[in-house]
Chains A and B, each alone.
Chain A
Amino acid sequence: MGEFDFSVWQPSLPFIRDGLLFTLRLTLVAMTGGIVIGTLLALARLSPIAPLARIAGAYVDLMRSIPLVLVILWFFLVIPFITGSPVGAETSAIITFTAFEAAFYCEIMRSGIQSVPRGQVNAAFALGLGRAQAMIHVILPQAVRNMLPVLLTQTIVLFQDTSLVYAIGAKDMLKAADVVGKNYNRPVEMIVLSALIYFAICFSLSLAVRQLQKRVAIIR
């Protein structure tokens, strides 16, 4: 103990900032894509067309039972064979996270849709709305509102999980900290710095979600 040299934090900041920007971009793209695809998957899972429901269910179960690290590695190796050319670690990470998180957002949206009271659906039909109209104008807005805290909590988890792109060498914040740590021969200080940054961001976000939760409690 006592041999720490935190002066390495100063020159590392530009690299950390670039890494953090990639981490945030990955989180936002995967969140948006994940929620959109996840909602479609949820609609498929709840649809009266049995094969559709079964395929969506199988996809969700598959993704939920494989560790994320393996999905990241596997997509990184497999995507070039599908597209015919290497896509790079960053693009691969974005595709992987969108596909993987869609399964988790799907489960959240599904329970959100199911949490909307039956009477809302019946009332929408009684007013003459079609199935799609009832879904878009009546059910989904309430489902999203009920599930907003859970969706955001999942996004915090997603933000933490993006650190796993380390496995394929994408340049996220952790990788930036790792590289700087190696260049200056100060790995310990850089790991501490990245842990502090992750903690600060995740902790303040989860406090914000908790405040939000109090405001948008489910109204029945």
Chain B
Amino acid sequence: MNYHWNWGIFLEQVKAGDETYLAWLFTGLGWTLAVSLTAWLIALTIGIAVGALRTAPSRLLVLLANAWVELFRNIPLLVQMFLWFFVVPEFLPREWSLWVKQEMPAKEFVTAALCLGFFTSSRVAEQVRAGVGSLPRGQRDASLALGLTLGQAYRHVILPQALRIVIPPLTSEFMNVFKNSSVAFAIGVRGMALIEARTRVPGLIARSG
């Protein structure tokens, strides 16, 4: 290998501006964290709801929830990013569409967080369904026998236990959110991945992987 390493690049100044590349990377880290954490909140909220619906005693609800999961699981994340960024605005009413395309603040961030959140929600839903499925039938039967409505049974008996069971697999999904957020570079979120791609220095990528 005859590559000329230049680790000093981190301390050099960015060509247009007075920051160093290191400071640039840290700004990128901030966006990575912001996108990932927002996406995780969305994913948990929707994922738990959809996961619970998949175990509901209504054929229609189960079908809809399953369709949700299959839709977001079977399209590559990068394609979903493009769908949210380029295609979804076209389906909005005219004024909204114009606003989203021209005026919406932090467009890339909002799009990436929504996309990653919905994508991850299907995985969370899969885990939550497995968690609810692993509970003994008696838990549900007993709650209903005690006079709880189905909603109350889920809220007070089934979900608290199921969520405790799925914590370990959910932590690995939590890490996947951070890794997947790097895909947001494709639509221009200035996360670490984009900054590395722009600087074109292999060492930088090794550093922040």
Q: A216 at interface (Cβ–Cβ under 8 A)?
A: no
Alpha-carbon distance between A74 and B155 when the two chains are bound, in angstroms:
47
**Interface size range on B against A:** 35 or more
Tell which of A126-134, A141-149, A193-201 binds the partner.
A193-201
Alpha-carbon distance between A191 and B89 when the two chains are bound, in angstroms:
13
Q: B74 at interface (Cβ–Cβ under 8 A)?
A: yes
- Which single member of A1, A74, A163, A199 contacts B202 (CB below 8 Å)? A74
Q: Is the CB of A70 within 8 A of B76?
A: no
Alpha-carbon distance between A67 and B86 when the two chains are bound, in angstroms:
24
Q: Is the CB of A81 within 8 A of B2?
A: yes
Residue-wise, chain B 197-209 has the 8 Å CB interface mask toward A (1 for contact) of: 1001010011011
**B206: nearest chain-A partner, CB-CB:** A74
Least distance between A155 CB and chain B CB atoms (Å): 14
Contacts of B80 in A (CB 8 A): 195
Least distance between A153 CB and chain B CB atoms (Å): 10
Q: Is the CB of A167 within 8 A of B186?
A: yes
Q: Is the CB of B79 within 8 A of A163?
A: yes
Q: Is the CB of A67 within 8 A of B79?
A: no
Contacts of B91 in A (CB 8 A): 1
Q: Is the CB of B76 within 8 A of A160?
A: yes
Q: A65 at interface (Cβ–Cβ under 8 A)?
A: yes
Q: Is the CB of A78 within 8 A of B209?
A: no
Q: Is the CB of B193 within 8 A of A67?
A: yes
Residue-wise, chain B 71-99 has the 8 Å CB interface mask toward A (1 for contact) of: 10111111110110011001111100100
Q: Is the CB of A74 within 8 A of B205?
A: yes
Contacts of B196 in A (CB 8 A): 70, 73
Least distance between A46 CB and chain B CB atoms (Å): 22
- Residues of A116-169 contacting chain B, CB below 8 A: 160-161, 163-164, 166-167
Q: B40 at interface (Cβ–Cβ under 8 A)?
A: no
Q: B19 at interface (Cβ–Cβ under 8 A)?
A: no
**A76: nearest chain-B partner, CB-CB:** B202
Q: A202 at interface (Cβ–Cβ under 8 A)?
A: yes
Q: B146 at interface (Cβ–Cβ under 8 A)?
A: no
Alpha-carbon distance between A78 and B196 when the two chains are bound, in angstroms:
14
Alpha-carbon distance between A163 and B76 when the two chains are bound, in angstroms:
7
- Residues of A165-220 contacting chain B, CB below 8 A: 166-167, 174, 187-188, 191-192, 194-195, 198-199, 202-203, 206
- Which single member of A1, A69, A194, A203 contacts B185 (CB below 8 Å)? A69
- Which single member of B75, B92, B183 contacts A164 (CB below 8 Å)? B183
Q: Is the CB of B74 within 8 A of A65?
A: no
Q: B182 at interface (Cβ–Cβ under 8 A)?
A: yes
Q: Is the CB of A198 within 8 A of B74?
A: yes
Q: B161 at interface (Cβ–Cβ under 8 A)?
A: no
Q: A77 at interface (Cβ–Cβ under 8 A)?
A: yes
Q: Is the CB of A166 within 8 A of B209?
A: no
Alpha-carbon distance between A164 and B80 when the two chains are bound, in angstroms:
12
Least distance between A174 CB and chain B CB atoms (Å): 6
Q: B180 at interface (Cβ–Cβ under 8 A)?
A: yes
**B176: nearest chain-A partner, CB-CB:** A67
Besides the known contacts A65-B175, A160-B77, 16 further A-B residue pairs in the complex with CB atoms under 8 A apart: A1-B92, A65-B209, A66-B209, A74-B205, A74-B206, A78-B202, A81-B3, A163-B79, A164-B78, A167-B185, A187-B86, A191-B86, A195-B79, A195-B80, A198-B79, A206-B74
A and B contact pairs by CB, cutoff 8 A, 10 listed? A67-B209, A70-B182, A74-B202, A74-B209, A160-B75, A163-B78, A191-B82, A191-B83, A192-B87, A202-B75
Chain A residues proximal to chain B, CB less than 8 Å:
1, 3-4, 65-71, 73-74, 77-78, 81-82, 160-161, 163-164, 166-167, 174, 187-188, 191-192, 194-195, 198-199, 202-203, 206
